[in-house]
Amino acid sequence: MDILTHIFLPLTLVYVLRRDFKAKHFPLALFAILPDFDVLTGIHRGLFHSIIFLLPISAFTLLVEYAFKGRIRYSLIALFFLYSHIILDFLAGGVPLLYPIVNQGVGVELPFIIRFGESISIVDITPRLVYNYPQPVQYIDASFSGFGVASTALFLLIYWKVSREREDAGDIETKRLAQALKAVFWRLLEILDLALGWLLVGLAALLAAHMFLAGRLARKLEGLIVKGDKSKQATSGR
C-alpha cells in the first residue's frame, strides 16, 4: 500500500475514536510509515516488518514515555500507527513476521470480484493465505494510489466535520487551533498580496526598461542604416 493509505487510514480511526487526540498529536502518524524504511537496507518488507525488530522498538517507545511523563498514553497510539502498517501489509501481499529467521512472509488475500453483465454474479469472495519473500529494492517508491488519495480525502472531510462539532461543543484547544489556522491563512494572504504587488512593480519596471533599451537600440540601428545608405550613395556618386 502507498504512504497516504498507511498514514491517513489509521489517522482517521484514531481521530474519530479518541476525543483527546488533537492536531498537535498528528506527527505520531509518522510511525505508520516507519516499517517502509527497511528499503534503506536494500530490502522491502524485510527487517522493519518483522516482530523481531518491532517488539524491541515498541518496548523502547513505551519506556521513553514512561520515563519522561510517568505514564503510558500516547506511545500506545504511536504503536497503533506502527502496527497498523503491518496489518495493512498483511492484507495486501503479506509480511515476513519472523525475518530474518524465516524469510517467507505470509498474509491474507481478500478478493471481492463481482461480474456485471446480463446478470450480476459474485466470482470470488473467498479469503486465502498468500506467501511471499522480501524483495530487493534500489529506490524508495513514493507513488500514490487512488485508494491513498481517497483515504486522505476521507480524513480531511472527517477532520473538518469533527473539528467543527468539537468547536461548537466548546473544545478550547480546537477553537484555538481554528483561530490560529485562520490567522495563518490571513497572514499568508497578506504575504501573497504583498508579493503580487512587488511582482507587478517589478514587471512594470522590467517592461519600462525593455521599452527604453529597445527604443535606444532601434534608434541606433536606424542611425547605422542611414549612415550605411549615405556611404553607398557617396560611393555610387564617385
For the stretch 33-68, pLDDT in tens is 999 888 888 888 888 999 999 999 999 999 999 999
Residue 159: its pLDDT value, please?
Answer: 83
Residue located via cell numbers 522480501? 134
Q: Which three cell numbers stand for residue 186?
A: 490571513
Residue type, 79: L
Which is higher by pLDDT, 78 or 183? 78
What is residue 44's DSSP assignment? E
Round to whole Å and give the CA distance between 75 and 60.
10
Whether 238 shows a pLDDT value over 60: the answer reads no
Whether 229 shows a pLDDT value over 70: the answer reads no
The percent of residues above 70 in pLDDT, for the chain, comes to 79
Name residues whose C-beta falls within 8 Å of residue 41's C-beta, 6 or more positions apart in sequence: 47, 48
For the stretch 103-146, pLDDT in tens is 888 988 877 777 776 667 666 677 888 888 888 887 666 677 78
- Strand-strand pairing, 135-136 and 128-132: unpaired
Whether 20 shows a pLDDT value over 90: the answer reads no
Round to whole Å and give the CA distance between 87 and 32.
11
Task: Provide the whole-model pTM.
Answer: 0.65
Round to whole Å and give the CA distance between 41 and 56.
18
Residue type, 173: E
SS3 123: strand
